[in-house]
Amino acid sequence: MVWAPRPYGAVVRDVGEGGCGRIGPGMDPSRKRAIRLAVALTAALLLASALVYTSFAAGRDEVTASQLLQKAKPGKSYILAGTVLAGSVHHDGSTLLFSVRDPKLKLSVPVRYKGIIPDPFAEGRGVLVTVREQGSTWIGEQNSLTTKCPSKYQAASSSY
């Protein structure tokens, strides 16, 4: 056989007995399936890990009035949970002033809030509001006030 330069991109053929041209032995199909399965499972595991990390990293805990006063840091916002203190609801123009009471302690936090006020908002009702400290008052982020419906959190009556 005489060696001759081949043009770029030419296919080298293994010419064995019978002169049949075949391009290499190829990969075993079962090995190919195993590699695809391993790659797919690895990708699925990475995507699931990213989803779990993102969902837990994005969440914030609710704090009560006592927890807020103990561990609040300036410039950081918190989700304040508690009950609207009776006699504390007042309107100052478009600003709603109210106090959120700690459900377990006789401690409350004054809140100044501007934004949409949910229809079920009332004294004695459970609320959640995102707040940020400003002096001795907590400023509620606009449109972050939500109320808890008491009927959903009460024990069902036993008279069926």
Q: Do residues 124 and 70 lie in contact, with contact meaning Cβ atoms separated by under 8 Å?
A: no
- Write down the pLDDT at residue 3: 59
- Write down the pLDDT at residue 152: 57
Q: pLDDT tens digits for 37-72?
A: 999 999 999 999 999 888 877 667 788 888 888 888
- Write down the pLDDT at residue 160: 43
- Write down the pLDDT at residue 35: 93
Please give, one letter per residue, the 3-state secondary structure of 102-123. Answer: CCCCCCEEEEEEECCCCCCCCC
Q: Which residues of the chain have pLDDT under 70?
A: 1-25, 58-59, 150-160
Gyration radius of the chain over CA positions: 34
24: phi > 0 → left, psi -120 to 50 → alpha, else beta; which? Answer: left
- Write down the pLDDT at residue 148: 81
